[in-house]
Structure 1
Amino acid sequence: MSSHPISIRNDLQVIYQDVYTPEALQALAILTPFNQRIKALMDQRMQRRNWRQQQQQRITFLDPDSTIPGTGLLVQDARDGKFDGAVILADLQRQWIQGTGPAAKPNAPLENSIRNVAYALLSGADGWMFDGEDALGQVGTMSLDNQRNLKLAIHKDPRFLTVAEQVAIEMNRWAESFLGHPTITDWAEQLNFTTKIFRARGLHLDDRHIRDAKGIAMAASIVDLTLYVVNNYQALQKAGSSIVLYLPKIQTAEEAALWNELLSSLEKHLDLSVGTIKVYVLVEQLEATYQLMEIRAALGRHFVGYNTGRWDYINSVADALAWDKTFINPNIEAITMTYGYMRNYEDRVRRAVNTPDQNGNFALWQGGMEPNIPVGSEAGVAASMTKAIAGAQREQQAGASGKWVAHWKMVHIVRPVWENAGEANQLGRLFPQLTYTQADAAGLTQLEPAPTDIRGARNLLSVALQYGNAFGQGMQAAALKPADFFGNEDILYLMEDMATGEIRLSILWEWLHKGALLTEADEETGTRAGDTFSEALLNRILDQEYEKLLNADNKDVFDLSKTTTLPIAKEIATAYILSQEKIPWFIDLLNINLNNMDLDVAKQRIRMYVDTFTNERKRITENLDFRTSVTEEVL
């Protein structure tokens, strides 16, 4: 028996014995001590957040003469590149397009669920980030289905190959109708083209199925990392593939240092050399933007690149400045990657990756997400694809070595932007060295004039409600659009994940609690330019948008959800927006209601969360339905 035992709920160890293998369980037990350390770091996060809110302090750059906690590195040395970084491996040299999405479907048999992996690996994407976090539903045992499907695909199990052959036929059929030619010539060979990448859940989330010896929920990061790497590293290496992860929601270099130690400990246990596991980091948090070189240095030989996401980053800025009555985001549509603080954030990322380490190694910059899906009217698709290509061209010209797409159909539409440029990557492209002035700091929260109007509020509410509903149904990635555009084929559905629901509620929280002034008149509500966005106005719009969802066709809002998860989604959205204290994570309220269809239970759990956060400054992140069976063995 390990000195650091873990427990797995119900009979999942038996049902998923191909995921909870002896080797994986042994590694989990060895890494269990990191659970307490992660929880301590998350407490520090909350303490920093609370202090800034109370003192009304903005985030600042680190003291250059200080040491990065968890490392022996001086901050100034990290900024100067005086550290050992990673050499970019062969299968990461060209990552023009990375697709993103989960490897599983909710409540689906394996033959249907695993189709997600087949679409991904046959898409022609240079890499595919199989998501264990924002786009992966967590109802039931989806996180384990995700791991199972990836293992079957990576090991080329016959069950996966049978599905892949059929999916290839269907994908070619679509390609011939839309692109005018097939995209897959040899499906079996095509499966080898795409680099497999896995996104673990962030340090702020708990696993729903495992607790440590003290009965404390295991950090999801430990579980995701261990199950994916232990179950697949040998097959990946045998195929000549790198072991690559995306690490989300890192806020500080100290957190990156803990990740580095966690990765190194797993490598040591598996007898792998340090740095074998490579990681991209998603720059999704404002605080991380102040510590980019420090994070690179802390991850050392594991780090290969940054990704510039959009939605999570916007929310992090809003959250960090919740205390500042003058900071109010405009309509979400206005906050593009060229908007104020987003433009400055992206610029710092590209300058950080093209600062060499002491061995002359640069890092990769993977651009942001393209959420469009080419399904709709001919005019709507044409307009949206033109916009998507223009966005990709802007990022390529700015120095990105590639970007993300949220749907496999977008791969061959966007990939030619980089293919035509003809360079495998833009490593080492010359940009000015990063500076750390007051003007640099101010730029990372820079607002610019943009609309704040009723149409924007309706869009924010409609999509946020739909997202909360989709989450409850097990779809953390869902094709959505505002209810007023249901049936309008000129307005395309966009692939949305957790972050997009969160930022919509976050902006509405700002508008309400900071007294946003409307920039345009609205005939339907009788509001005028200059009117304040009030609680009465919010409630009126909320009721109207909710009614539209109740009356929507089953295609847009599942009829079954209208009496189950949709009312809960409304309750969560209302609690989030009305809360006097800005709730740090929308996903917390959703997670504590996973697999719950009872509105009264949801109200109790939401009230408990809000009270706990308000009174104790603590989040509830564990699975409230965790049960262990009497026959379960402690590992």
Structure 2
Amino acid sequence: MVTTEAQKTKTGLQITGTVLPQEERVLTQGAIDFILKLHNEFAQRRFLLLEARRKRQKQLDQGKLPDFLPETAYIRGGDWQVGAIPAALQDRRVEITGPVDRKMIINALNSGAKVFMADFEDSTSPTWSNIIEGQYNLMDAVRNTITFESPEGKTYEVNDKPAVINVRPRGWHLEEKNILVNGQPVSASLVDFGLFIYHNGTLLAKQGRGPFFYLPKLESHLEARLWDDVFLFAERSIGLNRGTIKATVLIETILAVFEMEEIIYELREHMAGLNAGRWDYIFSIIKKLKNHKAFVTPDRTSITMDVPFMEAYAQLLVKTCHKRNVHAMGGMSAFIPSKDETINKIAFEKVRQDKVREVLHGFDGTWVAHPRLVEIAKTEFDKVLENTPHQKNIMRHDVNVIARDLLQVSSAGNVITEQGVRTNINVALLYLESWLRGVGAAAIHNLMEDAATAEISRAQLWQWLNNDNVKLDDGRAFNLDLYLKLYDEELNALLAQFRKEGRDLTYLNRAEELLDKLVLSDDFEDFLTTLAYRYL
């Protein structure tokens, strides 16, 4: 490791993770010093914003529902727009997302998508090796030197028209336990952002391809303001022109949807667009409004983009973005190809319909999780966009969404089935098992599950158990006895499957322990990843 014990003591920064071969290149003294500067500058503000989240949650628990902020009405009513978007981010009709392992990066860059969102958050299990190797891999990708050789001897390298890299750091709520300052963990957001921009920001700016970021799980415009100040600090520190950094914000919390214009305003010098992060958005509604009977959600599969409250969210996002001259990006299609072409035919048609709906709503681009889906999505956007890079001229004056429209969760219906309960148990266990093994994007039942989709599964189980009079569609009360019965059956089936396949049960046993804590606790755990992180 580059830093000596004396240097660590002098700076107050300590690295506790296992020494890795990539550290010599990633954790240089300059990079470490930059992380320390970010921490010293912004740690206290981050702490205060997280405390504000907790206070807001108490208000929600006591019955105060989200609404548009009266104190920022002047921003929503103001005549302002965001400036020019860089050429590299003008055409974003299809974006592919995925973790930062070496093979995935190469396949994503070669996929034909316009943008690759390199994800340190929901699709990456934040083991120390995943974080450091991910930064190392992206350094090679930015320099176009990234290659990979499979165990079978197949060589992977990037073609001559790679996707544009956008990096998603971990959210404000997460910490990096392997980097301590005065004994306290550093913000995972600042670690992921800081390492990437320190090593790659200047080069990407010279290439005209960045540095670009996706910002996850914001809950207020004040959290966006913190990011904007981080960007300004980084630009000054490494010598970038003001406004060089561009960010797309994921609108994936029920609180952020009421502050979209304010979020754009706070980041206006660095703003590239908003994204409809649908899975985390559903999870956020369950989490934030968990104590209210009116917000008990039906089976996860019932909450599609067709239901009125989700459609209101999507259309308001498009209207807001185009009003302010930024891109509106559609959500993730989680389907992934199967070996069964009959299943693929059905899944691909669902993906196609999803993308048709998005492009007709006015979205400028969309997300997919697998290279085989790129062409399906691209075809539907090409039909509407043709040779134009986006459709920001579509202003959606016909959309008039009010707070009540965004909160009509009952419009999705109230059908909860035994199969829905079983699926949630099964998916939560399998995803947690995968995440604890260090794999944050898991193919489960022909869907690409990440932390966001797993969050819905475990949150629904908690919500259904902790609201009175929740019944299944067959009339049975959903209570602890029924849950434990179905849970035991699903767990035993997985244990039998693992034993039959000769798989290690260690992580499944830990997943069982974790899910019990997440579902059976009287208190709702804000994020499964914060609890599970203690096991890594």
Q: Which 5+ residue runs of structure 2 have no aligned equivalent?
A: 1-6
Deviation of 1:10 (Å)? 4.8
Structure-2 change in CA distance of 1:535 and 1:59 (3 Å): same
TM-score by length of 2: 0.92
The residue type equivalent to 2:92 in the other structure is Q
Residues 1:478 and 2:442 are matched in the alignment: yes
Deviation of 1:387 (Å)? 1.1
Alignment match of 2:85 (pick from 88, 109, 115): 88
Alignment match of 1:511 (pick from 464, 470, 482): 464
Corresponding residue for residue 225 of structure 1: 193
Corresponding residue for residue 205 of structure 1: 174
Alignment match of 1:390 (pick from 331, 353, 365): 353
Corresponding residue for residue 44 of structure 2: 36
Residues 1:51 and 2:53 are matched in the alignment: no
The residue type equivalent to 2:394 in the other structure is R
How far apart, in 1, do the equivalents of 2:221 and 2:153 lie? 42
Deviation of 1:419 (Å)? 2.0
Asked whether the 8 Å contact 1:509–1:578 carries over to 2, the reply is yes
Deviation of 1:44 (Å)? 1.4
The residue type equivalent to 1:122 in the other structure is N
Corresponding residue for residue 183 of structure 1: none
How far apart, in 1, do the equivalents of 2:309 and 2:193 lie? 32
The residue type equivalent to 1:452 in the other structure is I
Structure-2 change in CA distance of 1:11 and 1:460 (3 Å): closer
The residue type equivalent to 1:287 in the other structure is L
Deviation of 1:150 (Å)? 0.7
How far apart, in 2, do the equivalents of 1:408 and 1:168 lie? 18
How far apart, in 1, do the equivalents of 2:399 and 2:215 lie? 23
How far apart, in 1, do the equivalents of 2:132 and 2:404 lie? 46
Corresponding residue for residue 111 of structure 2: 123
Asked whether the 8 Å contact 2:205–2:244 carries over to 1, the reply is no
Deviation of 1:446 (Å)? 4.9
Query: How far does the alpha carbon of each residue in 1:277-318 deviate from its partner, in whole angstroms, 9 at most, with x for none?
Result: 000001111000111100110111111111112211111101
Root mean square deviation, CA, Å: 2.4
Corresponding residue for residue 455 of structure 2: 502
Residues 1:424 and 2:392 are matched in the alignment: no
Asked whether the 8 Å contact 1:81–1:355 carries over to 2, the reply is no
How far apart, in 2, do the equivalents of 1:427 and 1:546 lie? 49
Residues 1:581 and 2:534 are matched in the alignment: no
Structure-2 change in CA distance of 1:81 and 1:434 (3 Å): farther
Corresponding residue for residue 3 of structure 2: none
How far apart, in 1, do the equivalents of 2:73 and 2:359 lie? 30
How far apart, in 1, do the equivalents of 2:58 and 2:504 lie? 36
How far apart, in 1, do the equivalents of 2:373 and 2:405 lie? 35
Corresponding residue for residue 338 of structure 1: 306
How far apart, in 2, do the equivalents of 1:116 and 1:438 lie? 40
The residue type equivalent to 1:542 in the other structure is Y
Deviation of 1:5 (Å)? 4.1
Structure-2 change in CA distance of 1:26 and 1:13 (3 Å): farther
Asked whether the 8 Å contact 1:462–1:545 carries over to 2, the reply is yes
Residues 1:349 and 2:333 are matched in the alignment: no
Query: How far does the alpha carbon of each residue in 1:48-105 deviate from its partner, in whole angstroms, 9 at most, with x for none?
Result: 112321x222122212xx3xxxxxxxx233213445624111111111111100121x
Residues 1:141 and 2:110 are matched in the alignment: no
The residue type equivalent to 1:41 in the other structure is L
The residue type equivalent to 1:379 in the other structure is T
The residue type equivalent to 1:530 in the other structure is G
Asked whether the 8 Å contact 1:84–1:301 carries over to 2, the reply is no
* Secondary structure of residue in 2 paired with 1:465: helix
How far apart, in 2, do the equivalents of 1:344 and 1:115 lie? 38
Corresponding residue for residue 20 of structure 1: 27
The residue type equivalent to 2:188 in the other structure is A
Alignment match of 2:488 (pick from 536, 539, 543): 543
TM-score by length of 1: 0.78
Asked whether the 8 Å contact 2:202–2:238 carries over to 1, the reply is no
Residues 1:242 and 2:210 are matched in the alignment: yes
1:54-203 to structure 2, matched below 5 A, reads 55-63=62-70, 66=71, 75-83=72-80, 85-104=82-101, 114-157=102-145, 160-161=146-147, 163=149, 190-203=159-172
Corresponding residue for residue 504 of structure 2: 561
How far apart, in 2, do the equivalents of 1:15 and 1:132 lie? 17
Query: How far does the alpha carbon of each residue in 1:536-592 deviate from its partner, in whole angstroms, 9 at most, with x for none?
Result: 0000000000011112257xx974432x11111111112211122222111122111
* Secondary structure of residue in 2 paired with 1:404: strand
Structure-2 change in CA distance of 1:580 and 1:471 (3 Å): same
Equivalenced residues, count: 525
Deviation of 1:7 (Å)? 1.9
Deviation of 1:519 (Å)? 4.6
Structure-2 change in CA distance of 1:454 and 1:446 (3 Å): closer
Structure-2 change in CA distance of 1:519 and 1:100 (3 Å): same
Structure-2 change in CA distance of 1:287 and 1:464 (3 Å): same
Deviation of 1:335 (Å)? 0.3
The residue type equivalent to 1:392 in the other structure is K
* Secondary structure of residue in 2 paired with 1:460: helix
The residue type equivalent to 1:511 in the other structure is W
How far apart, in 1, do the equivalents of 2:208 and 2:392 lie? 23
Query: How far does the alpha carbon of each residue in 1:238-263 deviate from its partner, in whole angstroms, 9 at most, with x for none?
Result: 33312110000000001110111011
Q: Which 5+ residue runs of structure 1 have no aligned equivalent?
A: 67-74, 105-113, 171-186, 357-361, 482-492, 521-528, 595-635
* Secondary structure of residue in 2 paired with 1:426: coil
How far apart, in 2, do the equivalents of 1:558 and 1:196 lie? 38
The residue type equivalent to 1:571 in the other structure is E
Deviation of 1:17 (Å)? 1.9
Corresponding residue for residue 572 of structure 1: 514
Asked whether the 8 Å contact 2:451–2:529 carries over to 1, the reply is yes
Deviation of 1:434 (Å)? 7.5
Deviation of 1:191 (Å)? 4.1
The residue type equivalent to 2:57 in the other structure is R
1:278-293 to structure 2, matched below 5 A, reads 278-293=246-261
Asked whether the 8 Å contact 2:464–2:478 carries over to 1, the reply is yes
Asked whether the 8 Å contact 2:318–2:328 carries over to 1, the reply is yes
How far apart, in 2, do the equivalents of 1:99 and 1:244 lie? 15
Query: How far does the alpha carbon of each residue in 1:206-229 deviate from its partner, in whole angstroms, 9 at most, with x for none?
Result: 0132112x3211001111111111
The residue type equivalent to 1:449 in the other structure is G
How far apart, in 2, do the equivalents of 1:287 and 1:558 lie? 44
How far apart, in 2, do the equivalents of 1:429 and 1:210 lie? 46
Asked whether the 8 Å contact 1:510–1:516 carries over to 2, the reply is no
Q: Percent identity?
A: 28
Structure-2 change in CA distance of 1:10 and 1:418 (3 Å): closer
Residues 1:215 and 2:215 are matched in the alignment: no
Asked whether the 8 Å contact 2:13–2:36 carries over to 1, the reply is yes
Structure-2 change in CA distance of 1:365 and 1:436 (3 Å): closer
Corresponding residue for residue 602 of structure 1: none
